[in-house]
Amino acid sequence: MTAIRRLPVLIGLTTLVILAAFLFLPFSTDVQSTEPGCEEPGLLDAGCETGRAEMSTLVAAVRAKAPPLPEKDTCLHCHLAGAETDLWTPLLRWALFGAAGLVFTYGVYRSASVWRTGTPWTPLTRRTAGWIDQRYHLSEPVAKILGKPVPRYALHWWYCLGGITAFLFVMQAVTGTMLAFYYKPTPEAAYASIQYIEAEVRFGTAVRAVHHWGSNGMIVLCLAHMLRVFIMGAYKAPRELNWVTGMLLLVLTLAFGFTGYLLPWDQRAFWATTVGTEIAGGVPVIGDLALVFLRGGWDVSGLTLSRFYGLHVLALPAATMALMGLHFLMVRRLGVARPV
């Protein structure tokens, strides 16, 4: 019975495979015919961009230090010129025909389903939701969450400050991951890897700028949110722990800024960290311990860099996410404080 029911789908898929084979055939024959300009050996990034002949000494130095580019660079210009042979063209082709194939399969399945059952088509979203709900009984709690009323007094822009901080955290996580793909946390390679990000990585400068200014924005908004809560007296009972977790989140944000500042490993970073950790060393009783723990020794060194990196990308994000979760749960549970 089920075999008969699935027959239309099978027919659709088979048709699709045959069709796809035909569509792909012409492309795979002319893959080799490329513009000679883009296959120029010797130049590391395939010489697609004209005017690269006179390289600045900086870029030359970066290239000497930086890891060599892959032999077949994925060049956007080349792709637009129709000469790209490596990554983007097949990817684009797969996305395009894959999407067309999915639409086609969906159409065949939908028609067959309507024809077989004689009932109107139920949207896929509702089908999926129903399938999940049958198993996990989620519709009731979800409806409760979505249906929760928002008081009108909580509709001013200053109630957005905390939410914007959370958004910025997500943005920092995304751009930070992008930077971590290229960054190398060793004293020998850190500086050169940042230069590599700025000079060679596509949109690397933009991603670094967003991460840099995002960190500043996060601190500003954290403080602004805190001031708003303080001024309005929203920290009072029953929201004491919201305030405490918020304060801890502010400390974590500052720690993010402090650890992240060292990572470029330039003079400013190095000496700001030297001075900053020295200040921590001025704390009575535990000062020396704090200093040695922060620096990984008595001096700022490669050990400091790697532990700041570890804190910046592992420990602080984990702690921040945990506290943010708690903070949000408490806000959700208690609602927004009514101003007096």
Partner 1 sequence: MAYTQSTSTTHPQSEDSIPFYPDHVRTEARVVAALIVAALAVGALGLAFPVGLGAPADPMETPAHVKPEWYFLALYQLLKFVPKTAGVLTPLLGLGLLMLWPFIDRRPDASPRVSRIRFATVGLFVVLLIALTLWGELS
Which residues inside 126-145 make contact with partner 1, applying CB under 8 A? Answer: 143-145
Token pair listed for 23: 């569509």
**Cβ atoms within 10 Å, residue 13:** 16
Measured from the CB atom, the residue of 93 and 212 that comes closer to partner 1 is 212
Measured from the CB atom, the residue of 83 and 194 that comes closer to partner 1 is 194
Amino acid in position 309: Y
- Binding partner 1 by CB under 8 A: which of 36, 42, 118, 147? 147
Query: Hunting for tokens 């983007």 — which residue is that?
Result: 88
Token pair listed for 202: 């596509």
**Inter-axis angle of helices 267-280 and 240-262, nearest 10:** 130
Q: Does 60 bind partner 1 (CB under 8 A)?
A: no
**Least spacing, CB of residue 274 vs partner 1, in Å:** 8
- Binding partner 1 by CB under 8 A: which of 10, 11, 150, 321? 150
Residues from 296 through 335 that contact partner 1 (CB under 8 A):
299-301
Residues from 261 through 300 that contact partner 1 (CB under 8 A):
261, 264-272, 274-276, 279-280, 282-284, 299-300
Q: Are 336 and 327 in contact (CB under 8 A)?
A: no
**Least spacing, CB of residue 36 vs partner 1, in Å:** 30
Binding piece for partner 1, criterion CB under 8 A, among 90-98, 105-113, 117-125, 165-173: 165-173
State the Cα–Cα distance between residues 242 and 231, nearest whole angstrom: 15
DSSP H/E element including 31: none
Token pair listed for 46: 């395939």
Q: Are 41 and 69 in contact (CB under 8 A)?
A: no
Rg of the chain over all Cα atoms, to the nearest angstrom: 28
Measured from the CB atom, the residue of 33 and 267 that comes closer to partner 1 is 267
What x/- string results for residues 226 through 265 when contact with partner 1 is judged by CB under 8 A? -x--xxxx-xxx-xx--xx--xx--x--x--xx--x--xx
Residues from 106 through 125 that contact partner 1 (CB under 8 A):
none
- Binding partner 1 by CB under 8 A: which of 183, 191, 196, 308? 191
Token pair listed for 204: 């690397």
Amino acid in position 269: A
Q: Does 161 bind partner 1 (CB under 8 A)?
A: no
